[in-house]
Amino acid sequence: MNTQCMIDYLTALGMNNNREWYHANKDSLKMATTEFENLLQSLMLEIGKFDSSILGHNPKDLTFKLVRDTRFSHDKSPYNPAFRAHISAEGKLPVPVGYYLMIKPGNQSFLGGGLFADMFKDATTMMRNYIVGHSQEWEQIIHEPAFKKYFTVQGTALKNVPAGYDKDHPLAEYLKHKSWYLEYPIKDETLQNAALFVTKAAELFQIMKPFNDFLNRALAGFQMPSR
């Protein structure tokens, strides 16, 4: 696994974020993409040792395109110089939640998990209700020492507890959330040894798993909106 190949390509794309350069360097993209998919395959095999639900997917089907949707963005650069993937039982769909990887030069890479998408109102309601009904379990997960060492629950949130929920609830801060996710930053130097990176990433994802499992129980029966 040549992780430097990925970093070199993404760095160059970041410096030449235009269609002319992108199309003139398709061979470099193909090589870097292949290395990313190889990295994903190795990572999935390690994750599969503690979460077999993610096995059986083709790494290629778990990745996201470099092309950006610039219709509603002030930044009109056409590409996102990052390799991204979401590994879950149902592939790269946001629900069920799984294990997220983004590789982006400049120490912007990270491992992630949980529910990033806060546009799904039904999912948000299901999660809030589940936290209320399983408060002790939620607290045990987020206060477990290994979890606290590496992760803090993040997510977009309201200023106040939404209507229908006790504003004095012990977990009121989490009831304000519209999404609940985790991020662990990865430095560029950590990616230089692919085998060590895969081992470390799998260890962190295993620590993350009870959090993901809680969310997936909360989101049982959720249906993705039809397009």
Average pLDDT on 71-97 reads: 92
What local confidence, expressed as pLDDT, does residue 227 receive? 67
Terminal-residue alpha carbon distance, the chain: 37
Q: Residue 128's CB: how many other CB atoms inside 10 A?
A: 22
Per-residue pLDDT of 143-159, as tens digits, reads 999 999 999 999 999 99
pTM for this model (two decimals): 0.94
Q: Peptide bond preceding 96: is omega within 30 degrees of 0, i.e. cis? A: yes
52 φ/ψ angles, rounded to the nearest 5 degrees = -70, -10
Confidence of residue 75 (pLDDT cuts 50, 70, 90): confident
User: Would you state the pLDDT for residue 72?
Assistant: 77
Of all residues in the chain, the percent with pLDDT exceeding 90 is: 91
- Average pLDDT value for residue range 18-44: 97
In this prediction, residue 1 carries a pLDDT of: 76
| 3 state DSSP class of 178 | coil
Query: In angstroms, rounded to a whole number, what is the distance separating the alpha carbons of residues 31 and 72?
Result: 31
Residue 127 near residue 214 (C-beta atoms within 8 A): no
Question: Would you say residue 116 has pLDDT above 80?
Answer: yes
